[in-house]
Structure 1
Amino acid sequence: MTAETSIGFPTVREQIAHARSVVVKIGSSALTDLDEGLDRDRLDALADALEARMRAGSDVIVVSSGAVSAGLAPLGLKKRPKDLATKQAAASVGQLALAHAWGTSFARYGRTVGQVLLTADDINNRSHHANAQRTLDRLRSLGAVAVVNENDTVATNEIRFGDNDRLAALVAHLSGADALILLSDVDGLYDGDPRKVGVDGRRAQFIPEVNGPEDLDGVIAGSGGALGTGGMASKLAAARLSADAGVPVLLAAASSAAQALADASVGTVFAARPERLSARRFWVRHAADASGQIVLDDGAVAAVSRRRRSLLAAGVTGVNGRFFSGDVVELVDQNGRVVARGVASYDFDDVTSMLGRHTDELPPDLQRPVVHADDLVVVAR
């Protein structure tokens, strides 16, 4: 029985429609035009829909794409640049314009806007992660609208989120949101490109609800368009990340924002896992970069992934990379498949000296688990 048909329980759409706290991600194509830059009328319409949701009693955080795109027209650029320096130059112009536009639009309702610029390092670093969380919480408590964007002016290719869909999913968990709404130029999830007809003459079929991985069998997702870096592939990945963390998701067209924010009756919904990951486990699983790998024998793989036990030195057969106590590491099987992620209790050289040894064979200062069960999250089974 799916979430949409369970008697006595709210459907996924009802969960999203009545969510007390919502993160709303808005794509570049919904806000900008290659020739004219920011489209103030479209932005105002989105602000109207967001204001209506807030007046209905919800806290709303906006994750707004469009900084790079908003900087193209003022700089005389005719297409999205490919080199990092020009992207960052466009972002430096566009971020100012974008923040001003959101501030001006919400000022019609007496709302104050606070801009929050994040890099991937702010999420990867546990202390930065906590600081960002406190900033978002305080903005909400003060009645301001937080508008979040990736800090494109300083982010390098090595420390980027990749796209604002993933950023939105991370912010949804970071802020303790009850729902995530992804608004762009697509009206939902299809099993293929809805603009094309297949070789068999069949058109892509719309998928109204995703309750688990089996509902995605055969789905083909493409990359982004001229203005953005995302595309359906990034939206699907972000929706799965968010749902896996316990936050339901609605994917809908920005042109249907009023309906999406009012009753969630449009687009595709993604059901969330029953239990929400703790902030620490979410950070270990999704937010932090892995600093290295610890290779497990078959017995340790079973203990970690099936029985959720701590990783002991006796089950470790190898170490890849240089990591230190407190770093997040990947736990891999003999074939290199990642089965879990966790926080290392020791530096890489200590773990190397412990390979395959039973606890009673180790000195007292090395008798703790290599990765404790409380700091471990299973990735694959």
Structure 2
Amino acid sequence: MNAPTSRSDLARARRIVVKVGSSSLTGADGRLDVAALRDLVSVLATARRAGRQVVLVSSGAIAAGLGPLGLGRPRDLATAQATASVGQGLLVARYTAAFAEHDLTVGQVLLTAGDLIRRQHYANAQRALERLLALGVVPVVNENDTVATDEVRFGDNDRLAALVSHLARADALVLLTDVDGLYDGPPSQPGTRLVPEVTSPADLAAVEVTGRGSDIGTGGMVTKLDAASIATGSGIPVVLTSAPNASRALAGDDVGTWFAVTGRRTSARRLWLAHAAQIRGRLHIDAGAARAVTDGKRSLLAAGVTGLDGEFEAGDAVELVGPDGVVARGLVAYGSAELPAMLGKSSAQLREDGDALPRAVVHRDDLAQVHRRALAR
């Protein structure tokens, strides 16, 4: 089916990505809560019996590894990776056993950011997901924390879930967390209200979001809003609610916060550029150039570039920063050593300088717009 245009349409969505956070799968001691996991599996199994395809993006590997190792929350990358290595197998074993009670098979899919940065890896991951779903398997996806590095990683499973939604060609994304939706302030603060629907960035203007989230997780509401922005901007609606509301959310009931689609389905290449490419530097551009690459969908020329940061080669991904912040990402046609002599010059001036066929600094085919808002206060 086409992407649901209203919350009630979600009940008919054929393929859904469901992301559950660590806070929804752990108890007060920070260890894996098997009863909560089984409850979620029961909901997803019901959806599968109804003929729907489900991709589960699950946090909880580190939480699952804490008990066997006798550790508290890891504070350094090496310990976190070791804990995830132990916990990932235990987590999938729990899912395997729980889904088996419903005569369903699970398949583990571990991804790194590199799998989306490299287009061949992206295609391979897409084929693997398609085949698993065709075989009736429930893919259980997580970031491969054991080998991911600080330099190249998703950073949280909310963002991963949004990218997997595109990868899997999902009809919708359901983000499950420890609060029942998006509030206009801290949920514990008297007077705050649930935001039932977000149809545009303007609906978030009065929303105050602070903090990271639970001690055991890496995300928080900021990362969930980023994930919602990624998904809705590429044509995939989102529901954000608590894990106990999962069944009602999948049924299209009025729970949590509904994020309506804000953009059309985009190509894998543009999604990669906007959200997964490793950024090597920044190009500062003037207001006219910012309008040209966003409203005008035009290439970035040297005349509009006012400065640059970082060291990069031709073909690297860079951010384009206008007077009001980052407006796009793209693949640059010149290295950082070449560009300083070109800044602010027209094509005619570049030809006078000896460049017979001056190229766009970033061609429009290699550009992806970035829509962001500062959410933390």
Structure 1 residues 29-48: aligned runs within 5 Å: 29-33=23-27, 35=29, 37-48=31-42
Instruction: Report Cα offsets for 1:187-218 as digits up to 9, x if no partner.
Output: 11111122233xxxxx2111111111121122
Q: CA deviation at 1:11?
A: 4.6
> Which moved further from structure 2: 205-214 or 118-127?
118-127
Question: Shift of residue 369 of structure 1?
Answer: 2.0
Number of the residue aligned with 1:205: 193
Are 2:56 and 2:141, in contact at CA under 8 Å, matched by a contact in 1? yes
Match of 1:119 in 2: 112
Tell me which of 83, 87, 93 is aligned to 2:80. 87
The amino acid that maps onto 1:275 is R
In structure 2, the residue matched to 1:220 is 208
State the Cα distance separating 1:128 from its structure 2 match. Answer: 2.7
Q: Which residue number in structure 2 is paired with residue 200 of structure 1?
A: none
Q: AA paired with 2:113?
A: A
1:355 to 343, 348, 368: 343
Does residue 239 in structure 1 map to residue 228 in structure 2?
yes
Would the aligned equivalents of 1:183 and 1:254 in 2 still touch at CA under 8 Å? Answer: yes
Cα distance change of structure 1 residues 324 and 58 upon mapping to structure 2, 3 Å threshold? farther
Q: Is the 8 A contact 1:36 1:73 kept in 2?
A: no
Q: Distance in 2 between matches of 1:194 and 1:315?
A: 44
Paired residue for 1:377, among 359, 368, 377?
368
Q: Deviation at 1:366?
A: 4.3
Q: 1:20 matched to which residue of 2?
A: 14
Match in the other structure for 1:176: 169
Identify the residue that residue 358 of structure 2 maps to in structure 1: 367
- Residue identity in the other structure for 2:125: A
2:46 alignment counterpart: 52
Q: How far apart, CA to CA, are the structure 2 residues paired with 1:10 and 1:86? A: 42
Amino acid at match of 2:149: T
2:359 partner amino acid: R
* SS of residue in 1 equivalent to 2:261: coil
CA distance in 2 between partners of 1:118 and 1:351 (Å): 35
| Residue 375 of structure 2: aligned partner | none
Residues 204-244 of structure 1, C-alpha deviations (whole Å, 9 max, x = no match):
11111111112112212232113222222222221222212
Query: Is the partner of 2:308 in helix, strand or coil?
Result: strand
Partner amino acid, structure 2, of 1:327 = D
Q: How many pairs align?
A: 366
Letter in 2 for 1:368: R
**1:142 Cα deviation from its structure 2 partner:** 2.4
With 85-94 and 341-350 compared, the bigger mean Cα shift is at 341-350
Structure 1 residues 207, 103: CA separation in 2 closer, same or farther (over 3 Å shift)? same
Structure 1, gaps ≥5 residues long: 1-8, 198-202
- Shifted more, 169-178 versus 39-48: the winner is 39-48
2:62 paired with 1:63? no
Q: Is the 8 Å Cα contact of residues 302 and 344 (structure 2) preserved in structure 1?
A: yes
For residues 172 and 302 of structure 2, the distance between their equivalents in structure 1, rounded to whole angstroms, comes to: 40
Question: After superposition, what is the alpha-carbon deviation per residue over 1:272-297, rounded to whole angstroms, capped at 9, x for unaligned?
Answer: 11422222111111121221122334
How far apart, CA to CA, are the structure 1 residues paired with 2:301 and 2:142? 41
Letter in 1 for 2:7: R
Secondary structure of the structure 2 residue equivalent to 1:206: coil
Cα distance, 1:36 vs structure 2: 8.2
CA 1:307–1:49: 2 relative to 1, 3 Å = same
Partners of 1:59 and 1:140 within 8 A in 2: yes
Structure 2 counterpart of 1:99: 92
2:278 corresponds to 1:308: no
Q: 1:133 aligns to what?
A: 126
If the length of structure 2 is used for normalisation, what is the TM-score?
0.89
Question: Is the 8 Å Cα contact of residues 53 and 262 (structure 1) preserved in structure 2?
Answer: no
Distance 1:16 1:357, change over 3 A: same
Work out whether residues 183 and 207 of structure 2, in 8 Å CA contact, stay in contact via their aligned partners in 1.
Answer: yes
Moved more, 50-59 or 353-362: 353-362
Task: Give, in whole Å, the separation in 1 of the partners of 2:313 and 2:53.
Answer: 39
Of residues 307, 327, 346, the one that matches 2:334 is 346
Change in Cα spacing, 1:302 to 1:111, as seen in structure 2 (3 Å) is: same
User: Aligned residue for 1:3?
Assistant: none
TM-score scaled to structure 1, two decimals? 0.88
Calculate the aligned-residue CA RMSD, in Å: 2.4
What is the aligned counterpart of 1:161 among 154, 157, 167? 154
- 1:76 alignment partner, one of 57, 66, 70: 70
Distance in 1, Cα, partners of 2:239 & 2:39: 19
Contact 1:88 1:153 in 2 (8 A): yes
Q: 2:213 touches 2:220 (CA, 8 Å); kept in 1?
A: yes
CA distance in 2, matches of 1:233, 1:36: 22
Alpha-carbon deviation of 1:368?
A: 3.0
Unaligned runs of 5+ residues in structure 2 are 373-377
